[in-house]
């Protein structure tokens, strides 16, 4: 061990320990490779625990007509046909087996009267499709994978933040980071790396994301030369808490609507009749979020700037059984008894559809040795993700990225890191200390969140997006002088935030630049100045890559598969009726 | 808006002390909001763990006015208004810095518990009423507040001999799973130290998920261990039949 940093060597390292990271790690270690999983928090605390409603898979336990083809059609319709078709296909085909596998590993789902896995309705899904455990499905998923993984010999490095991927020529050969506890540096050498770092919601003021959602994988991959896809599509979940102020943005699961919850404005009207009379409250998330936003803007909102969501008609016993954590969340944090009175809810930044561009079958990015899975990737969800498709995405593509990394690592030579690159990475982190009159990271973060919320939110237009670009340029300058006064490295959140800001700024800029280029409204991206679908853009994704010091924003054609064309045509025809 | 005084423990393994902070209080605020406000405005290096802010991840465990609580779930208006609010790290675990403690021991214990092991022919047809009790145990968010309050661990520091309530719940969730085939009773009796619990139910009281830790998990496990290892009739039968100590999945 060197006095500046410690070194570990593995065949594969997985960065992130949510559903995708854990599933990838299980795949790698099951193949006999020496596998490490690195996470910023304690194991089992990743944001996957906040996935509440369920995991979408066409098991057909409740609605026997369901099949993978319908799930595929629902997914690409929800994604407004911008999805990578092959990813949507693999996802729909493999999700049922991943759910059954989870059950064999110890997950205990709610049951049908016949004793099978129970499935519930959710927005945009034609059939009752979401396997669930009350409203804590994500916790069940993560705990099951965690308990499976720890007995399989995965080396887990907890509370360790990666700040840079290390390269040997074109390919990745390791990662540099710091221990949160001690502030000491650490180098992981590896033949292959899987990024599974989740989302970027902390770029926005009102978000359901925890402190971890700073777009680390997006930025680490981008910095290493990988491409970002569909970054303009940021999902605002229609129902976040709006009161009290401290919990603004906290998720209210879509399962409330799946179980029959109704949305009303301050006139008592079920306003979804105006926006999607066919699907009503179970329309896709982009539609419901815009509807609530519009009702509030036009003066029909609830006292704290949201709308009302009511489940009380289902009866106290049912609500407490099927939505226990929602019951407690509102009772304890907002003094609202949801079995008797409506909740107040409004949109909250929840999920990034956009992310690293990967190969559908094995999660490979364009950088040799670098793989990715889960929310930090793009393509699977297109312009809008259906609820329930995230947990299944994590399992299907976590496993596939693991397989990809295994195949690569088996053929790859021993990793060779470059001391100069490590020195640069270390200097970046120590550079946040000792600056005279440094920029306050908390202040800069708040300014970034306010700018993104105000200028690049649910509804966008050119003048706002242009203003946002200018602000981001200013923030990037300020970020150069960000630093901490209290000069110690042990568990110092101010110091950690200094580095996280850089990732958030990359994501925010990618979102804004892509949003400016896409001159149409589609899925989660709504342009006031271009309110309609545009046929050209319906066939194109936006890709962002590194071009020296700037971002290169380009367009590419949607990835289609000839065999799936009839399914897509069939769905389009049905939806036109 | 009003102001309240917080006494937050600041320090590391070498020692520390309570530091006073004044916080502007908003309606509906929880202790974690106050800690974040202190971080943002007064002490950027104040160390604390948190994630979901919704009582679903179990990261922000601490002791508020001496009681083990999740900071994200503890409303300021539920605490006596006349007094200052003290926030200190969990006492049972070694301090790393400020409100952050070293909970790695819990992960070591979890690794000792053999995982879910279904039979080769398991059908996974299970009725809801047969999985209700397992689902109760699986609600656990691993906040470790039960471990913090348990006097076997807190006062007597018997970590090497006792798994603690959290992991007795974990064992219960496996032992009572209708499809599991392993027998973990010997582990419970020996390494798990289930006999050390004397049912004061402190763990149940602090559980933010309202799991009936003592009644539904620990007591039934104690009964199974007693049935298997200390039932005089069984001891006689074992001698007569010549079956070993650990033969058979008793209590399944």
CATH number for the domain spanning A189: value is 3.50.50.60
**Are residues A382 and A266 part of one domain?**
no
Instruction: Give the confidence band of B249 by pLDDT, cuts at 50, 70, 90.
Output: very low
Tens digits of per-residue pLDDT, A94-108? Answer: 999 999 999 999 999
Q: What is the side-by-side strand order in the sheet with B2-12?
A: B15-25, B2-12, B85-88, B61-64, B67-70
Are residues A224 and A242 both part of a single domain? no
Most confident of A23-37, A325-339, A484-498: A23-37
CB A12 within 8 A of CB A193: yes
Residues A149 and A74 in one domain: yes
Residue A59 belongs to what domain range? 5-233+353-411
Q: Are residues A43 and A181 in the same domain?
A: yes
Confidence of residue A2 (pLDDT cuts 50, 70, 90): low
Instruction: Give the number of other CB atoms < 10 A from CB of residue A572.
Output: 13
The verdict on residue A422 lying in a domain is: no
> In which element (H, E) is residue A336 found?
none
- In this prediction, residues A22-31 reach a mean pLDDT of 98
Residue A53 shares a structural domain with residue A179: yes
Query: Is residue B218 scored above 90 in pLDDT?
Result: yes
Q: How far is CA A6 from CA A161, A188, A191, in A?
A: 14, 9, 18
* Statement to judge: residues A261 and A333 lie in one domain: yes
Q: Which of the residue ranges A3-7, A119-123, A484-488 would you say has the lowest mean pLDDT?
A: A484-488
- How does pLDDT run across A386-440, given as a tens digit for each residue? 999 999 999 999 999 999 999 999 999 999 999 999 999 999 999 999 898 999 9
Q: Tell me what pLDDT residue B231 has.
A: 82
* Tens-place pLDDT, residues B65-111: 999 999 999 999 999 987 899 999 999 999 999 999 999 999 999 99
B67 touches chain A (CB under 8 A): no
Whether residues A49 and B50 touch (CB distance < 8 A) is answered with no
pLDDT at B142: 98
DSSP letter assigned to residue A484: B
Cα distances (angstroms) measured from residue B228 to each of B117, B174, B222, B238 = 21, 18, 10, 10
Residue B246 has pLDDT above 70, yes or no: no
* Least CB–CB distance from B40: residue in A105, A210, A442: A442
Give the residue-averaged pLDDT of A39-44. Answer: 97
Separation between Cα atoms, residue A42 and residue A404, nearest integer Å: 26
In a domain, A416, yes or no: no
> Contact A510/A228 with Cβ under 8 angstroms?
yes
pLDDT at B243: 62
Beta bridge partners of A370: A193
Q: How confident is the model at residue B234 (pLDDT cuts 50, 70, 90)?
A: confident
Cis peptide leading into residue A244 (ω within 30°): yes
Asked whether residue A114 is domain-assigned, the answer is yes
Subunit contact A490:B47, Cβ cutoff 8 A: yes
Average pLDDT on A108-129 reads 96
Phi, psi of B166 (to 5 degrees): -55, -45
Separation CA A118–CA A100 (nearest Å): 12
Could you tell me if residue A360 is inside a domain?
Answer: yes
The whole-angstrom separation of Cα A516 and Cα A530 is: 11
Q: Which is it for the CA torsion B233, B239, B243, B244, positive or negative? A: positive
Q: Where are the alpha helices (DSSP H) in A376-418?
A: 389-411
Q: Which residue of A has its CA nearest to B175?
A: A106
| Cβ distance of B44 and A442 shorter than 8 Å | yes
The share of chain A scoring above pLDDT 90, in percent, equals: 95
A54/A189 same-domain check: yes
User: And the tokens for A290?
Assistant: 């815009």
Whether residue A286 sits in one domain with residue A255 = yes
Cα B164 from Cα B183, distance rounded (Å): 19
Does residue A192 lie within any of the structural domains?
A: yes
Residues of chain B with pLDDT > 90, as a percent, come to: 85
- Rounded to a whole number of angstroms, the distance from the CA of B145 to the nearest CA of chain A is 15
Task: For residue A139, give how far its alpha carbon lies from the nearest alpha carbon of chain B (Å).
Answer: 8
CB contact under 8 A, B142 and A44: yes
For the cut 50, the answer to whether the pLDDT of residue B251 exceeds it is no
Chain B residues lying within 8 Å of A119, measured CB to CB: none
Contacts with A197 (C-beta within 8 Å, 6 or more apart), sequence order: A15, A16, A21, A215, A216, A217, A218, A220, A374, A375, A376
The pLDDT of A180-197, averaged and rounded, is 97
Give a yes or no: residue A9 inside a domain: yes
**Overall domain count for chain A:** 3
Give the pair of three-digit tokens for residue B69. Answer: 């609580």
Of B53, B58, B116, the CB nearest to A250: B53
Domains identified in chain B and CATH numbers: 2-101 (3.10.20.30), 104-241 (1.10.1060.10)
Q: Which residue among A10, A125, A180, A257 is the active-site one?
A: A257
pTM of the model: 0.95
> Is A540 among the residues known to form the active site?
no
Do A193 and A274 lie in one domain? The reply is no
Q: Which residues pair with A207 in a beta bridge?
A: A349
Average pLDDT over residues A243-259: 92
pLDDT digits (tens, 9 = 90+) for A338-379: 999 999 999 999 999 999 999 999 999 999 999 999 999 999
The alpha helices in A224-298, defined as continuous H runs, are: 255-258, 272-275, 285-297
As a whole number of Å, the CA-based R_g of chain B is 21
A34 in any annotated domain: yes
Cα torsion A159, B151, B164, B147 to 10°: value is: -30
Whether the predicted pLDDT of A529 surpasses 60? yes
Separation CA A63–CA A311 (nearest Å): 23
Q: Is residue A180 among the annotated active site residues?
A: no
Residues A161 and A302 in one domain: no
- ipTM of this complex prediction, to 2 decimal places: 0.93
Instruction: Please tell me the distance in Å from B239's CA to the nearest CA on chain A.
Output: 35
Contacting residues for A451 by C-beta, under 8 A, at least 6 apart: A468, A471, A472, A475, A508
Q: Model confidence over A445-468: pLDDT tens digits?
A: 999 999 999 999 999 999 999 999
User: In 10 A of CB A340, how many CB atoms?
Assistant: 9
Which of A237, A285, A350, A496 is the catalytic position? A237
Chain A residues with CB-CB distance to B139 below 8 A: 136, 139
What is the share, in percent, of chain A residues with pLDDT greater than 70?
99
B46: which chain A residues are within 8 Å (Cβ-Cβ)? 493
How far CA A265 is from CA of A259, A276, B46, in Å, comes to 19, 15, 42
Cβ under 8 Å to A: B residues 136-155: 138-142
Whether residue A70 is found in the same domain as residue A155: yes
- Tell me whether strands A185-195 and A5-15 are parallel, antiparallel or unpaired: parallel
Tell me: the pLDDT tens digits for B2-47?
Answer: 899 999 999 999 999 999 999 999 989 999 999 999 999 999 999 9
Q: Tell whether A417 is covered by a domain.
A: no
Residue with tokens 């107040």: A344
Facing B56 at nearest CB: one of A42, A43, A50: A50
DSSP state of B180: B
Question: What does the angle CA A118 – CA A122 – CA A127 come to, to the nearest 5 degrees?
Answer: 65
Read off the CATH number of the domain in which A329 is found: 3.90.700.10
Residues A78 and A222 in one domain: yes
């Amino acid at each position: 061990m060197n006095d500046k940093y410690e070194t570990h060597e593995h065949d594969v390292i997985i960065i992130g320990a949510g559903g995708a990271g854990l599933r990838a790690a299980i795949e790698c270690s099951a193949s006999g490779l020496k596998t490490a999983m690195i996470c910023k928090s304690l194991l089992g605390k990743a944001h996957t625990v906040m996935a509440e409603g369920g995991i979408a898979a066409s098991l057909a336990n409740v609605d026997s007509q369901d099949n993978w083809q319908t799930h595929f059609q629902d997914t690409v319709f929800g994604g407004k046909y911008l999805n990578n078709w092959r990813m949507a296909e693999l996802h729909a085909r493999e999700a049922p087996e991943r759910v059954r596998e989870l059950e064999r590993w110890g997950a205990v789902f709610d049951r049908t009267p016949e004793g099978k896995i129970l499935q519930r309705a959710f927005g945009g899904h034609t059939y009752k499709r979401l396997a669930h455990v009350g409203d804590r499905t994500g916790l069940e998923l993560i705990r099951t994978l965690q308990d499976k993984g720890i007995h399989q010999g995965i080396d887990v490095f907890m509370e360790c933040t990666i700040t840079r991927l290390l390269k040997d020529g074109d390919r990745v050969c390791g990662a540099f980071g710091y221990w949160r506890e001690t502030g000491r540096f650490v180098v992981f050498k590896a033949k292959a790396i899987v990024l599974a770092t989740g989302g970027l919601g902390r770029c926005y003021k009102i978000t359901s994301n925890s402190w971890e959602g700073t777009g680390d994988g997006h930025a680490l991959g981008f910095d290493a030369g990988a491409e970002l896809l569909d970054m303009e599509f940021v999902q605002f979940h229609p129902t976040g808490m709006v009161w009290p102020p401290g919990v603004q943005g906290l998720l209210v699961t879509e399962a409330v609507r799946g179980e029959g919850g109704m949305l009303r404005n301050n006139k008592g009207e079920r306003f979804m009749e105006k926006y999607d009379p066919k699907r009503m409250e179970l329309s896709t998330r982009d539609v419901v979020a815009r509807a609530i936003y519009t009702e509030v803007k036009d003066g029909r909102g609830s006292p704290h700037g949201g709308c009302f969501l009511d489940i009380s008609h289902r009866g106290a016993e049912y609500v407490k059984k099927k939505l226990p954590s929602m019951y407690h969340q509102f009772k304890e944090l907002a003094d609202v008894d949801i079995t008797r009175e409506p909740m107040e809810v409004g949109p909250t930044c929840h999920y990034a559809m956009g992310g690293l561009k990967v190969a559908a079958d094995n999660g490979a990015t364009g950088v040799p040795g670098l793989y990715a899975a889960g929310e930090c990737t793009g393509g699977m969800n297109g312009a809008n993700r259906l609820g329930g498709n995230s947990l299944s995405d994590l399992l299907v593509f976590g496993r596939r990225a693991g397989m990809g990394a295994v195949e690569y690592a088996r053929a790859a030579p021993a990793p060779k890191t470059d001391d100069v690159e490590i020195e640069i990475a270390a200097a970046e982190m120590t550079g946040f200390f000792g600056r005279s009159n440094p920029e306050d990271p908390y202040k800069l973060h708040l300014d970034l969140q306010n700018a993104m919320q105000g200028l690049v939110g649910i509804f966008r237009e050119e003048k706002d997006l242009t203003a946002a670009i200018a602000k981001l340029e200013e923030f990037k300058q300020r970020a150069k002088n960000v630093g901490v006064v209290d000069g110690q490295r042990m568990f110092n959140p101010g110091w950690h935030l200094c580095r996280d800001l850089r990732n958030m700024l990359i994501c925010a800029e990618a979102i804004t630049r892509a949003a400016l280029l896409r001159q149409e409204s589609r899925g989660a991206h709504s342009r006031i100045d271009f309110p309609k679908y545009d046929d050209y853009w319906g066939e194109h994704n936006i890709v962002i890559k590194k071009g020296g010091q700037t971002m290169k924003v380009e367009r590419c054609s949607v990835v289609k598969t000839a065999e799936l064309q009839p399914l897509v045509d069939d769905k389009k025809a049905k939806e036109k009726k | 808006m009003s102001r309240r005084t917080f006494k937050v423990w600041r320090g590391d393994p070498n020692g520390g002390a309570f530091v006073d902070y004044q916080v502007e209080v908003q309606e509906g605020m929880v202790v974690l909001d106050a800690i974040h406000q202190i971080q943002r405005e007064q002490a950027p290096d104040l160390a604390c763990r948190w994630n979901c802010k919704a009582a679903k991840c179990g990261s922000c465990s601490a002791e508020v006015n001496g009681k083990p609580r999740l900071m994200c779930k503890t409303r300021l208006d539920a605490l006596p208004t006349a007094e200052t609010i003290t926030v200190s790290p969990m006492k049972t675990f070694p301090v790393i810095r400020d409100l952050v403690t070293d909970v790695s021991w819990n992960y070591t214990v979890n690794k000792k518990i053999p995982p879910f092991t279904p039979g080769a022919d398991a059908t996974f047809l299970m009725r809801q009423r047969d999985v209700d009790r397992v689902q109760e145990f699986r609600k656990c968010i691993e906040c470790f507040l039960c471990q913090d309050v348990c006097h076997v661990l807190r006062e007597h520091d018997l970590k090497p001999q006792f798994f603690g309530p959290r992991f007795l719940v974990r064992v219960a969730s496996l032992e009572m799973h209708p499809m599991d085939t392993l027998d973990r009773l010997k582990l419970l009796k020996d390494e798990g130290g289930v006999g050390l619990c004397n049912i004061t139910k402190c763990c149940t009281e602090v559980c933010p998920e309202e799991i009936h830790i003592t009644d539904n998990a620990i007591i039934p496990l104690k009964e199974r261990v007693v049935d298997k290892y200390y039932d005089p009739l069984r001891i006689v039968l074992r001698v007569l039949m010549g079956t070993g100590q650990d033969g058979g999945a008793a209590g399944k």
